[in-house]
Structure 1
Amino acid sequence: MTKNTSRKKQAKILRIFRKIHRITGALLFIFFFIIAITGILLGWKSHSNDIMIPQSYKGSSTNLQKWLPLDSLHKNAITILRDSISTDLSSELDRIDVRKNKGIVKFIFENHYWEIQLDGATGNVLNIGKRYSDLFEDIHDGSILDDTFSTSNKQFELVYTTLMGLALLLFTITGFWLWYGPKKLKNSRN
């Protein structure tokens, strides 16, 4: 293969990579924008002065033997949800976050973004707060569509994260070649 043929082949590959990079970028721009913004917000959630995620308070005891049973705390959290926030909200739990070292239990609900923090020993309310970080996380990974359409196996999240991961991999490869290809082409002329 001659030097001229090799350069033409490298230039053709470079044009193909540029086209793939440009078309993919145009098609997926909005998704990359959403991922970038929500990623930045999630990175800052602990430094948001309780705007995105409620502060964790301290309970009266870190000794688990002094704590109320978890089912009693759960019933208390449901009562507080109904009395203090809304009777219309689902009481289905996403998770229970036990913070022994802080003496608290957080009840985080499934179908909305409310959190109720209780003192593990007394069952008293320490905080009621909205978890916007969970909303941003659901947008970031596409699971908000699974929640919206009540899918059975998080199909939207799987397709979305796979597509975005492959697109990022493609952008990395084509972006590297768009940087390295011209250097290689220039060196082949010398």
Structure 2
Amino acid sequence: MPKITKRQRQAKWLRIFRKVHRATGAALFIFFFFISITGLLLGWKKHSGGVILSKTYKGTSTDLKDWLPVDSLHSIANTYILEHVSPELSTKIDRIDIRKEKGIVKFVYEDHYWGLQLDGATGTVLHTERRYSDIIEHIHDGSILDDYLGTSDNQIKVFYTTVMGLALLLFTITGFWLWYGPKRMRKNNAST
């Protein structure tokens, strides 16, 4: 049985890495496409001129003493969303974002992508928004499938991010070897 040379071993590993790199890329192409596009959009959301992420409006007072109680602001937001957007929307809150320095309160809803900005002192609705940045983020991390299928604990998101994270790690390792391996082989050839 002929002895396998160092160069043949390196060439064999290079072929294996090339196959793994190509197969992983082909199998996960569509997912990498969505991650790259949504990642770009999320990176640019604050610089989209209000298309992806609405600007934060300003209220009349930044002094919390002048503000209405949060439960009153919550009631105003829920009434507004049901009367002016759709009476079928859920009023279940995902988060309430208090921006004291701007004098506003943002209400973000859990079961749909609508949000409101209210003046903290007067309760005036300053802005109604479709939260496109949240939609894009949910596509980016796969949680939109959890929302759509009604999974209980973001199992799809966890599986998706695990697979894509491991795939990116695998791409990094195999990609580096596809770049470095031939250089190493040429260097070894030159020294022999």
| Superposition pairs of residues 175-186 of structure 1, within 5 angstroms | 175-186=175-186
| Superposition pairs of residues 53-64 of structure 1, within 5 angstroms | 53-64=53-64
- Distance (Å, rounded) in 1 between the aligned partners of 2:118 and 2:20: 53
Per-residue deviation, 1:4 = 6.7
Per-residue deviation, 1:166 = 0.2
Match of 2:100 in 1: 100
Per-residue deviation, 1:61 = 0.4
Which segments of 5 or more consecutive residues in structure 1 lack a partner in the other structure? none
Question: CA-to-partner distance for each residue in 1:95-134, whole Å, 9 max, x for gaps?
Answer: 1010000000000111111111000001001111111010
Percent identity over the alignment is 62
User: Partner amino acid for 1:36?
Assistant: S
Match of 1:145 in 2: 145
Question: CA-to-partner distance for each residue in 1:134-159, whole Å, 9 max, x for gaps?
Answer: 00000000000110111111000000
1:11 is the counterpart of 2:4:
no
- Distance (Å, rounded) in 1 between the aligned partners of 2:161 and 2:150: 18
Q: Secondary structure at 2:60's aligned position in 1?
A: coil
User: Partner amino acid for 1:44?
Assistant: W
- Distance (Å, rounded) in 1 between the aligned partners of 2:143 and 2:124: 33
TM-score (norm: length of structure 1):
0.97
Q: Secondary structure at 1:102's aligned position in 2?
A: coil
Runs of 4+ in 1 over 6 A off after TM superposition: none
| Superposition pairs of residues 12-91 of structure 1, within 5 angstroms | 12-91=12-91
Q: Secondary structure at 1:101's aligned position in 2?
A: coil
TM-score (norm: length of structure 2):
0.96
- Distance (Å, rounded) in 2 between the aligned partners of 1:140 and 1:162: 13
Match of 1:157 in 2: 157
Per-residue deviation, 1:54 = 1.4
- Distance (Å, rounded) in 1 between the aligned partners of 2:71 and 2:93: 13
Q: Secondary structure at 2:97's aligned position in 1?
A: strand
My pick for the range that moved more, 174-183 or 82-91, is 82-91
- Distance (Å, rounded) in 2 between the aligned partners of 1:25 and 1:42: 23
